[in-house]
Amino acid sequence: MKKDNLKADLLYYYQSELQTLGYNEKTIYSKLRNIKSFLSYIKKQELQISTKDIESYIHQLKNKKLHTSTIYQYYTSAKDYFSYLHINKNLKKNPFSSFILHLEKQPYKERIILTQEEIQILYS
């Protein structure tokens, strides 16, 4: 039970740090949700996480067919959290510092731009 309490305490302190830095509450909620997703997938204490664990998590996100920007958000949330832990001496080594994320850019759907005439037809 101590491990769960420690994890909850670290997340609470990180949340407080984000609030102090002036992050929006929705952004904080999103970051914490992404971090919890990472930690629940890995099922290890922060001290035990390796680059292979990060790689496995990214692979799992890719298999879910998520957009690369979404995967990047999950990744950066966890990376920022581990940087925070490392800076505050909760971790000796940050596993994200030696991990390089490789994501292929996904093309956005081409937008169709209507002419003035087409817009008028829509509204008539």
Give the tens place of pLDDT for each residue, 86-111. Answer: 999 999 999 999 999 988 876 777 88
CATH number of the domain that 86 lies in?
Answer: 1.10.150.130
Q: Which residue has the higher pLDDT, 79 or 44?
A: 79
Q: Has residue 1 got a pLDDT over 50?
A: no
The pLDDT of 17-44, averaged and rounded, is: 97
Q: Which of 73, 94, 74, 75 is nearest to 84 (CA)?
A: 94
Q: Domain range for residue 56?
A: 2-123
Task: Give me the number of domains the chain comprises.
Answer: 1
User: Does the model's pTM come out above 0.75?
Assistant: yes
